[in-house]
Amino acid sequence: MIWKIACIQLDIVFGSPVQNYQNAEEKIKQAAAEKPDVIVLPELWTTGYDLSRLDEIADSHAEVTLELLKKWAKQYNVSFVGGSVANKTDDGVLNTLLVVNSAGEVVKQYSKLHLFKLMDEHKFLLPGSSDGNFTLENIPCAGFICYDIRFPEWIRTHTAKGAEVLFISAEWPLARLAHWRALLITRAIENQCFVVACNRSGSDPNNEFAGHSMIIDPWGEIVAEAGTGEEILTASVDFSQSVDIRKQIPIFQDRRPEFYK
């Protein structure tokens, strides 16, 4: 199976969901003109890192964002790994990745497991408590959010169960761009799978962000990479490639997890 994937690298307006919804809708219309199978959005794209105001601006149970994603999915006949949003629940606010298929059905909601203390996430967000596995158009996938990529054991938990593509939504700072690129390439090589990573561009009052959204094949070769500004990054991936590579170097057959404790 071959997918055409579009990553929408947005410059997120700090603390303004209305403006961000409008900007995303315009970019999604542009991306949809290229007839992709999947559109990917970055982390916290409706609010940015305006964490201290999340009680005011977070999306209650992600309802507004989900309705928009479902509408756009049916309108453009495209699936969404719809980035993550500040998801206000009865217990607190989660950073939740939303996946909607081309029929407008909600496939997955994954809340960020690993909170990044250097950006004060632990002060304003609750950590997630479930895995990121999902199936999209018959392809086993997994979704992660930003800091998650620094935890290889968490990623492997998903690929050991069959995930063939890792989707990452992020707000990764420019100061650690080298880490972003190295970690993503490594995750692709060690898991013999495609990596689709959608970062944000621009800046907020406290950070400058790296951009450089990437689509990487199971050999660790970069299929496509964005620059630092707003951009729609598009590339096709052929899932037969991961099948072939896993036959050539059968790491999943050669694992000895009984010793990995």
Q: Is 43 a catalytic residue?
A: yes
Q: Is 112 a catalytic residue?
A: yes
Q: Which of 70, 88, 108, 112 does the annotation list as catalytic?
A: 112
Q: Nearest CA to 237 among 193, 182, 190?
A: 193
Task: Kindly state the greatest CA–CA separation across the chain.
Answer: 52
Q: Is 230 a catalytic residue?
A: no
198 phi/psi in degrees, rounded to 5: -110, 110
Task: At 79, list the tokens.
Answer: 């699936």
C-alpha atoms less than 13 angstroms from C-alpha of 5 in its C-beta half-sphere? 32
Q: Write the burial class of residue 52 (CB in 10 Å: 0-12 exposed, 13-18 middle, 19+ buried).
A: exposed
3-state SS, residue 219: coil
- Could you tell me which residues are beta bridge partners of residue 141? 134, 165
Contact in structure between 196 and 40 (CB atoms under 8 Å): yes
CA atoms of 97 and 221, how far apart (whole Å): 26
Length of the chain: 261
Q: Which of 146, 164, 171, 193 does the annotation list as catalytic?
A: 146
Per-residue burial over 142-163, b = 16 or more CB atoms within 10 Å of its CB, e = otherwise: bbbbbbbbeeeebbbebbeeeb
3-state SS, residue 145: strand
CA atoms of 218 and 234, how far apart (whole Å): 17
Show which residues are catalytic: 43, 112, 146
